[in-house]
Amino acid sequence: FTKSTKTGRKIVDGGFSFRFKNANADETKHYWKCEVDQCRARAHSIGDEIIRVDQEHNHEPDVAGVRKRKFIISTKEEVEKD
């Protein structure tokens, strides 16, 4: 899981980022949507583990973008500590 600079939580799987969509009634299972709006891929997780990915992505993974986001978030956290 990573933080998003704007919307909160994201989950990363194989270089693909998913944004949180919703959860079941007792908050044990989370549902995620690919962050690329035109992509129909969805993921399901329980805790920190992805248990299922529906549909295939219609785009290439954004490994560089994931690394960049993690760097920005860790840099912001370091600045906030000081």
pLDDT at 38: 94
Question: Between the CA of residue 16 and those of 22, 24, 42, 58, 78, what are the distances in Å?
Answer: 18, 23, 11, 11, 26
Full-model pTM: 0.73
Question: Between the CA of residue 65 and those of 37, 49, 71, 72, what are the distances in Å?
Answer: 16, 22, 10, 10
Give the Cα separation of 69 and 7 in Å (integer). 13
pLDDT at 5: 56
Written as one letter, the residue type at 70 is K
Query: Which segments of the chain have a pLDDT < 50?
Result: none
Give the Cα separation of 44 and 20 in Å (integer). 10
